[in-house]
Structure formats: structure tokens, C-alpha cells
Amino acid sequence: MELSEKIRQAKNAYSRAYRQNNPDKIREYNNRYWERKVDPVGSDVRKLSKEGSTQRQIAEKLKISLGAVNNILNDE
């Protein structure tokens, strides 16, 4: 979809203001984004662990070895 120049400028101004007013949210979003992008299995393992799943349950759910789960959690 093609935006008019006026709409594009308004959108960019809003985005800049949001980033300036919410630096912590932007930083948190970027950290979560890149963590998932670089290590999707590791982020899933850590998420399930924080939710209270055991290492064995995590390994079975994600179809990875128990040793891999252990390594991911010990690298934190």
C-alpha cells in the first residue's frame, strides 16, 4: 500500500516521538526480538523453564535432548 507523503511524515513523527518517550520499551522489544531471531530454541527453553516446566518436560515438548536443555539453562 502506498502512503501519501503527508501521511508518511506523520507516521514517522509519531514513531520518533514514541521511541524518545519510551526508550525502555524499545530496548526490551529489541532484546526480545534478537534473542528469538538468533536463538529461537533457547528462548523457548527459558520461557518454559520460567513457567515452571521441568527439564524433561521441556525436552519432550520441544523434541530436543535433555542435555541440550541443560546446556541452554546453564549458559544463563
In terms of domains, do 32 and 55 share one? no
Q: 45: Cβ–Cβ under 8 A, 6 or more apart, which residues?
A: 58, 62, 64, 69, 72, 73
Give the per-residue pLDDT at 18.
96
Q: Which residue has the cell 528462548?
A: 43
Give the per-residue pLDDT at 38.
78
In terms of domains, do 1 and 25 share one? yes
In terms of domains, do 28 and 50 share one? no
Q: Across the 76 residues of the chain, what is the mean pLDDT of every consecutive 10-residue run?
A: 90 96 94 78 91 96 93 84
In terms of domains, do 43 and 73 share one? yes
Residues spanned by the domain of 72: 39-76
What total number of domains does the chain contain? 2
In terms of domains, do 44 and 76 share one? yes
In terms of domains, do 52 and 32 share one? no
